[in-house]
Structure 1
Amino acid sequence: MKYAKPLPSYLVQRYQGWKATIFSENKAWYRRLADEGQRPRAFIISCCDSRVHVTSIFGADQGEFFIHRNIANLVPPFTDDSDHHGTSAAVEYAVSALKVAHIVVLGHSNCGGVQGCYDMCSGHAPELEEKSSFVGRWMDILRPGYERVLDVPEEQRKDALEKEAVLVSLENLMTFPFVREAVEKGDLTLHGLWTDIGEGDLHQYDPETKSFKLV
């Protein structure tokens, strides 16, 4: 593959530093993970945004979380069409193969994907309406959430839509038969979180008050 190039030197240096320190000091743990396989207790669905660092937020070690990242931390609804559904495949593997006990959907402030959905649905991003737009068609998943924030004061809609991205994903998770079955059996719990990048605050969804509360 002629287009693949060697890593930039700064990444090579960082890797070598990690191998010489963190890996070297925990070699037995890494070998155990390799030999025994992964047994993560939680499956985290978060945004691709480089500012959202799930393992740092929760101080997680290798092998603790099964993580899937996509634009705006969205989960599509279940469909019988199984062609090229990366997020759905991750959900299936986490629940059916790894038997995780928790699924966490983590949204965040200043989400570019959610902003794109807001602009598209409000008629300010016609390029995202094109059938050829991968981002636009992905953000169609969030259209129901956009409809639900139209009654929110305009200055608060973007923040509300970021939280709707979490709720829409939780709702869609329950359309997967194997997720619903695990939840109803008590083998799996779903959690909705939203983090403020600038403040470091973490909010969790409370179904009783139907609102996000500071953790």
Structure 2
Amino acid sequence: MPLRKLAAGFLDFQRDTFAPKRQFFDQLAQKQEPKVAMIACSDSRVDPAILTNSESGDIFMVRNVANLVPPCARDEEKHGISAALEFAVIALEVQHIIVFGHANCGGIKALLTNDPTTAEEHEFIHNWLDIAGEARRRTLIAARNQPLEVQLHKLEREAIKTSLSNLLTFPWIEQRVRDGRLRLHGWHFDLHSGSIDVYVASEDRFLPLTIDLIAELQDG
């Protein structure tokens, strides 16, 4: 009974976490001051707050299919991701934005294989994944003779790079990156190994996460 499990879990949290840390949660109730915003996938297997042992208030979390960031578009359409970014950057003044991708992403696989059922049965998903269409083209050119598993591995990372580029199309992000108030990061979590790789733009490659590497990217 999934709802019963959730309810029991909340009651455990209320007793074991909320009550002993009541002062901390009273402070959180007044305002939030996260330093990090994260664009993550909606995948139930990948919860960045759990993976990073974060506390309430640490991360301003935005989740969607395949952790994609659309390019800036000023029109009359409804832009949920853009609105969340606007709030995180302008109102909360976060210092870091992390695009958090992961292995075995169903959205990325559907994009790569151009699964016709995605377009037929999931029109919103199909249109959304087109954000990473250029990443797919780059992947198919660079890894056209490689097995599907290798192509997926590459596209998951190329999609992160696309989202990082799209973040810079928002003028209030680009300005803050330029003047040093904001830094952009790409992380990729591997469900099999339990490791995270971090995108190093200066080398155009992903390297294993270490404290030294994070310090270098934060200060560099």
When the two structures are superposed, what TM-score results if normalisation uses the length of structure 1?
0.91
Q: Map Cα deviations across residues 58-85 of structure 1 (whole Å, 9 max, x no partner).
A: 2111111100010000000000115221
**Shift in Å, 1:154:** 2.5
Q: Does 1:146 align with 2:158?
A: no
Alignment partner for residue 189 of structure 1, among 168, 183, 200?
Answer: 183
Match of 2:92 in 1: 98
Instruction: Name which of structure 1's ranges 68-77 and 82-91 shifts more when overlaid on structure 2.
Output: 82-91
Instruction: Name which of structure 1's ranges 160-169 and 78-87 shifts more when overlaid on structure 2.
Output: 78-87
Instruction: Name which of structure 1's ranges 180-189 and 127-136 shifts more when overlaid on structure 2.
Output: 127-136
Q: Which runs of 5+ in 1 are unaligned?
A: 1-6
Q: 8 Å contact 1:127–1:133 — kept in the other structure? A: no
Matched residues in 2 for 1:196 and 1:92: separation?
29
Match of 1:200 in 2: 194
Q: Which runs of 5+ in 2 are unaligned?
A: 210-220
Match of 2:217 in 1: none
Matched residues in 2 for 1:39 and 1:129: separation?
40
RMSD (Å), alpha carbons: 1.5
Q: Does 1:17 align with 2:9?
A: no
Matched residues in 1 for 2:165 and 2:14: separation?
41
Matched residues in 2 for 1:105 and 1:21: separation?
31
Match of 1:49 in 2: 43
SS in 1 for 2:37: strand
Relative distance call for 1:98 and 1:165 in structure 2 (3 A) is same
Instruction: Name which of structure 1's ranges 82-91 and 58-67 shifts more when overlaid on structure 2.
Output: 82-91
User: How many residue pairs were aligned?
Assistant: 204
SS in 2 for 1:83: coil
Query: Structure 2 counterpart of 1:141, which letter?
Result: I
Matched residues in 2 for 1:198 and 1:130: separation?
31
Write out aligned runs for 1:58-69 (5 A).
Answer: 58-69=52-63
Query: Structure 1 counterpart of 2:130, which letter?
Result: D
**Shift in Å, 1:159:** 0.5
Relative distance call for 1:131 and 1:173 in structure 2 (3 A) is farther
Relative distance call for 1:198 and 1:131 in structure 2 (3 A) is closer
